[in-house]
Amino acid sequence: MKYLYTLCLFLLLPLGLFSSTLKEGESIQFPIIKDQFEKTVQLTPETQQIIVAYTQAQGSSIKTFLESHPHYLTENNALYIMDATAVPSMVMSLFMMPKFKKYPYAIGLLEKEKDVAYFPKKEEFITIIHLNNLSVTKIEFKEAF
């Protein structure tokens, strides 16, 4: 049994070595993701911020903020993306997507664990990635937006 555990450890260890989280000073390698309208989210050299929500509470905080600041994303060349990996596909398609489609802004949906892992995360915090010409200048973590 000990041999089996050791073998599993050696087989899985290399996978952890190749996973990489985005860091300050690096050029961003933005994953291909879609928004609630099935459009590909476009990261451009003009993009200055990426806002990442990991929980429903964080999403609600961002929604409240964007309702009171409806031009924030456009004025700040910002993208809003959220972790959708924990949401069952049936719940997403029947309940969440129809609700999201009523929003006047796009929400990029991270549906793959490897894409979520690429973005820096601090438990209970929203991640805000500041960019300059596709290079990460600052990574911020906020309790609420």
Q: What is the pTM for the complete model shown?
A: 0.83
Give the position of tokens 């050696």: 10
Does the structure show a pLDDT above 70 at 47?
A: yes
pLDDT at residue 33 above 50? Answer: yes
pLDDT of residue 8: 43
Residue 80's DSSP bridge partners are 51
Residue with tokens 């500041």: 130
Sign of CA dihedral 142, 138, 26, 38: positive
Percent of the chain at pLDDT exceeding 90:
80
pLDDT for 17: 39
Instruction: Return the pLDDT at 3.
Output: 45
Whether 7 shows a pLDDT value over 70: the answer reads no
Least confidently predicted of 19-28, 36-45, 109-118? 19-28
Homologous superfamily in CATH for domain 21-142: Glutaredoxin (3.40.30.10)
